[in-house]
Chains A and B, each alone.
Chain A
Amino acid sequence: MAEVYNWQIGREMEYPYAESRPEKQWGAVFDINKCIACQTCTLSCKTTWTHGEGQEHMFWNNVETKPYGSHPLEWDKEILDRLGVQEWTEEDGEYVYEGDTIFEANDVDWEEMAPDDDPENIHGQDIEGYRPDDEDWAHPNIGEDEPTGEAIESDTHIPEGEEHPTWFFYLPRLCNHCSFAGCAGGCPIQAVYKRQEDGIVLIDEESCQAFQECVRACPYGKSIFNPEKGNSQKCVGCYPKVEQGLVPQCFENCLGKIRQHGWINPPEEADSSNPIDYLVHDAEVALPLYPQLGLEPNVYYIPPINVPDDYLVQMFGPRVTEAKETYQAARRGDEEYRKLRGLIHLMGSTEWRVEEFEVTDEEAIGYDGDGSTVARVPMEEPQYERDRFDEDNDAYRLDIA
């Protein structure tokens, strides 16, 4: 039985393949608090990768409004329903997921169902999942900007730093290039593979035989069938850019600068000068999406501070409350979280991959893999004040700061 250690759920779990981590792992942190759903990421991806025939329904990157938006339709409800109610336990601040992952829900004996060369052996058929209907791909904008919660009255007051009674938030999503990828685990002919040099998960289109098992086994709905080409396709992590030390299209084009791309290490190898490691392992402010599914996804989210915990715990796991508090402390300017604040300022400020960062008295600085400076951001936004009276034009200024 293949047992792998999934640090996000704090325990070993079953998976069709033995654990094998790449030399480096493509990773990302998204600050949801800053996303405005302008969909520039979506379009930058669409125009780069999925503008062909047969890809009309494909959004390798999409932004959905939570709780009502979802693409493909209700992908999250579908998989949560199938897994049912599950529990996390806590001991000494360490959380362990006690429920079943998608690889465990159907009690598969993975030794018996070992992947082999025989395409007739659909070894991954009991990975919990479903294949979305064609119609499920047809509503990428459903639920956009629809709030939930209690109605706001004319005298409703929301104190600073508290959850909002009425809320929604935007969830930008793409392939998580998971450490224990469902798509790779499910493919009966091993056409899905992980790249040793960067951990990007790719479908080899030459080998793909359109079983669509990857589509079924990816609970995030990020492996998508192309009926025109007759094979499945997915986000390629913009590997041609990543190979050159650049960030992917959807990161570079993000107007809100909510995205940071870099390498993510497992916790025991975490490096505090690496921005992704710092946000995920040191500050613990960025959390994986639905860690309980068991895929060890590599896109991490800073949870939205206006949204109630119960919804967020289901989505990002039990460390949500602490993450929100840490983020708010950094925003307030608490000295203890100065480094985090600097890094949050640095996010999305360069098209180069920041592999190392430091925060000095005045600024946050990002370095690429060779140690060259690729970004500099001041810790305090410089403010300029002009005279109220504009002598040249003999007029008073309305806006002077």
Chain B
Amino acid sequence: MTEPNTESTTALDHVHRARLYKLASLAFDRPDEELEEALVSGTFADQLLESAAALENDDLEEHARAVVEASPTDAAGVDELYSDWSSLFGFETGGDIRQYQIEYSPGTLVTSGDTLADIAGFYRAFGLSIAEGNRERADHLCIELEFLSHLALQTAYLENEGDETGVAVVTDAQGDFLEDHLGRWIGSFRETVAEEVDVEFYRALGALVDTLVGDDTDRFGAEPKTFEETPPSPLEGLNDGEGDFRCGTCGPTSSGSTPEMPMGDRDGPY
């Protein structure tokens, strides 16, 4: 890690950073009422453009414009976005795009307990915990983004208060978090989205977040080491290309009403 270069960043800039991270977190999460309201009312677009422009980075501004252009602006559009989201990221239809850091790192969830603990430790160090009822894992993209949003906002507050020690603490934390965590995988995430997603909204959003993180790694002097490409899973050779290596004897169920308990044999239900 090198020295942070934050002298030219004003408190107001930090507020804009906080807003961008927050909006990105909201947009990458499962579309809900909060996002729908922000999109339909135009607040999402206004704030995104305003904050991207304020940070004076041409790429960021360009990506923000692309996101806004691809954003739905009515309820039907948000509904469609909901379906897109669940087929890409959701478990309902087995979405392939993972939003978790550990999925982009070598090793498995079982061998990455220390990483999860480290991320959770960052949250706890700043008095944060995952909201009750939210069962996302600590390494989820949206949670990592929201954490940075929080730190950015804290930086702005502490700058205004003139609390230099406080500013140094949150500055270090942002640099460390980007270097050890988000910065290491956001590039691969953006690439995956660019290669496998045809929904422009998410493609543009991926580019926006990657650029925002890139901007900040420079700002905080972070030098994240990108994860190597994950080696193939040991089960890969066993797959038949359709992601399944069962015996294939389970046939479709017959239709028609069943007055007796549904019966079957070793080829499946009758």
Q: Chain A: residues with CB nearer than 8 A to chain B?
A: 17-20, 22, 114-117, 134, 180-181, 184-185, 187, 189-197, 202, 204-207, 227-230, 239, 243
Residue from B92, B255, B260, B269 within 8 A of A20 (CB atoms): B260
Q: Which residue of B lies closest to A207 (CB)?
A: B253
Question: A84–B262 Cα gap in the complex (Å)?
Answer: 30
Instruction: Give bound CA distance, A117 to B260, whole Å.
Output: 14
Question: B237 — which chain A residues lie within 8 A by C-beta?
Answer: none
Residues of A within 8 A of B93 (CB): 230
CA gap between A227 and B137 in the complex, in Å:
15
**CA of A78 to CA of B255 in the docked complex: distance in angstroms?**
35
A191 & B264 in contact (Cβ 8 Å cutoff): no
A-B pairs under 8 A by CB, number: 84
Contact assessment for A17 and B250 in the assembled complex, using a CB-CB cutoff below 8 Å: no
Does more than half of chain A's interface fall in helix, strand or loop, or is it mixed?
A: loop
The answer to whether the Cβ of B131 comes within 8 Å of any Cβ in the partner chain is no
Q: In the complex, what distance in Å separates the CA atom of A117 from the CA atom of B262?
A: 12
The CB with the most chain A CB atoms within 10 A, among B93, B264, B265, is that of: B264
Question: B264, A227: Cβ atoms under 8 Å?
Answer: no
Contact of A204 with B268 in the complex, beta carbons under 8 Å: yes
Name A197's closest neighbour in chain B (CB-CB).
B265
How far apart sit A148 and B46, CA to CA, in the bound complex (Å)?
64
Taken residue by residue from 245 to 270, chain B's Cβ proximity to chain A (1 for < 8 Å, 0 otherwise) reads as 00000111101111111111110111
- Verify B257–A116 contact, CB threshold 8 A: yes
Q: Are the CB atoms of A227 and B253 closer together than 8 Å?
A: no
A-binding residues in B (CB < 8 A): 91-94, 135, 250-253, 255-266, 268-270
Quick check: B255 and A117 within 8 Å, CB to CB? Answer: yes
Which residues of chain B come closer than 8 Å to A227, judged between CB atoms?
91
Q: Which residues of B contact A189 (CB under 8 A)?
A: 253
**DSSP class of B's interface residues: helix, strand, loop or mixed?**
loop
Residues of A within 8 A of B135 (CB): 134
Is B258 a contact of A17 with CB atoms below 8 Å? yes
B264 near A193 with CB under 8 A, answer: yes
Chain B residues near A190 (CB, 8 Å)? 253, 258, 262, 269
Shortest distance from the beta carbon of B252 to any chain A beta carbon, whole Å: 5
Inter-subunit contact A20/B264 (CB<8 Å): no
Q: Given the known A-B contacts A20-B261, A22-B263, A194-B264, are A117 and B251 also in contact in the complex, defined by CB atoms under 8 Å?
A: no
Contacts of A187 in B (CB 8 A): 262
**Contact for A17 among B91, B251, B261, B269, CB less than 8 A:** B261
A229 engages B94 (CB within 8 Å): yes
Please state if A193 and B269 are interface contacts (CB–CB under 8 Å).
yes
15 residue pairs A–B, Cβ–Cβ below 8 Å:
A18-B259, A18-B260, A20-B260, A114-B259, A184-B261, A187-B262, A190-B269, A193-B263, A194-B262, A195-B263, A196-B264, A197-B266, A204-B268, A230-B92, A239-B266
A194 / chain B contacts, CB cutoff of 8 Å: 261-264
- Contact in complex: A207, B252 (CB < 8 Å): yes
Which among B92, B253, B261, B262 is the interface contact of A206 at CB below 8 angstroms? B253
Q: Is the CB of A206 within 8 A of B264?
A: no
Q: Establish whether residues B92 and A17, one from each chain, have CB atoms under 8 Å apart when the complex forms.
A: no
Given contacts A134-B135, A204-B269, A239-B266, contact A191 B253 (CB under 8 A): yes
Contact B258 A115 (CB under 8 A): yes
Flag if B262 contacts A193 (CB, 8 Å).
yes
Contacts of B258 in A (CB 8 A): 17, 115, 190
**A20 engages B263 (CB within 8 Å):** yes
* Across-interface contacts of B252 in A (CB, < 8 A): 204, 206-207
- Chain B residues positioned under 8 Å from A180 (CB to CB): 261
Nearest chain A CB to B28's CB is how many angstroms away?
20
B57 to chain A, nearest CB (A): 39
Q: A190-B253, A204-B269 are in contact. Are A228 and B263 (CB under 8 A)?
A: no
